[in-house]
Amino acid sequence: MDFINITNDVQNAVEESGVMEGLVLVNAMHITASVFINDNEVRIAQ
């Protein structure tokens, strides 16, 4: 199992495409893969 942050890859692909408006669909095309959408928040220990 591995978690890979693809945010920068997706952002670069959108910028290179020239698209200025719309939504981005990130889809796992294999049955053994999945995509988790989470906010990348900094956690401060209390």
Rounded to whole angstroms, the Cα distance separating 42 from 34 reads: 23
Domain map of the chain by residue range?
1-46
pLDDT score at 19: 92
The series of mean pLDDT values per 10 residues for the chain, 46 residues long, is: 83 94 84 72 70
pLDDT of residue 25: 87
- Strands (DSSP E) contained in 1-46 are none
Q: Kindly list the distances between the CA atom of residue 30 and the CA atoms of 7, 16, 39, in Å, as whole numbers in the listed order.
A: 20, 25, 24
